[in-house]
Amino acid sequence: MRWFTWMLVVTLLGVTVVPAASATKLAAVDVMTSTVMQEKQSSFSGLGLRARITSPLFITGLEFMPTIEYWRNANSLETPPIKTTRKDATLAADVRYLFRGTGMRPYAGLGYALHFLSSSVDAPSLGVNDESHALMKGGFSFMGGLSFPLTQRIENFVELKYHHVTSYRQLKLNWGLSVNL
Query: In the chain, where are the structural domains located?
Result: 25-180
Determine which helix (DSSP H) or strand (DSSP E) holds 9, and give its type and residue range.
helix 2-23
35-71 per-position pLDDT tens digit = 988 777 777 889 999 999 999 888 899 999 999 999 9
pLDDT of res. 41:
75
The type of residue at 24 is T
pLDDT-based confidence at residue 16 (cuts at 50, 70, 90): very low
111-155 per-position pLDDT tens digit = 999 999 998 888 887 888 888 889 999 999 999 999 999 999 999
Pick the CATH number of 25-180 from 3.40.1010.10, 2.40.160.20, 3.40.50.1110, 2.30.300.10: 2.40.160.20
Q: Provide mean pLDDT across the span 157-167.
A: 94
Return the HEC string of 57-109: CCCCCEEEEEEEEEEEEEEEECCCCEEEEEEEEEEEEEEEEECCCCCCEEEEE
pLDDT-based confidence at residue 15 (cuts at 50, 70, 90): very low
pLDDT-based confidence at residue 32 (cuts at 50, 70, 90): very high
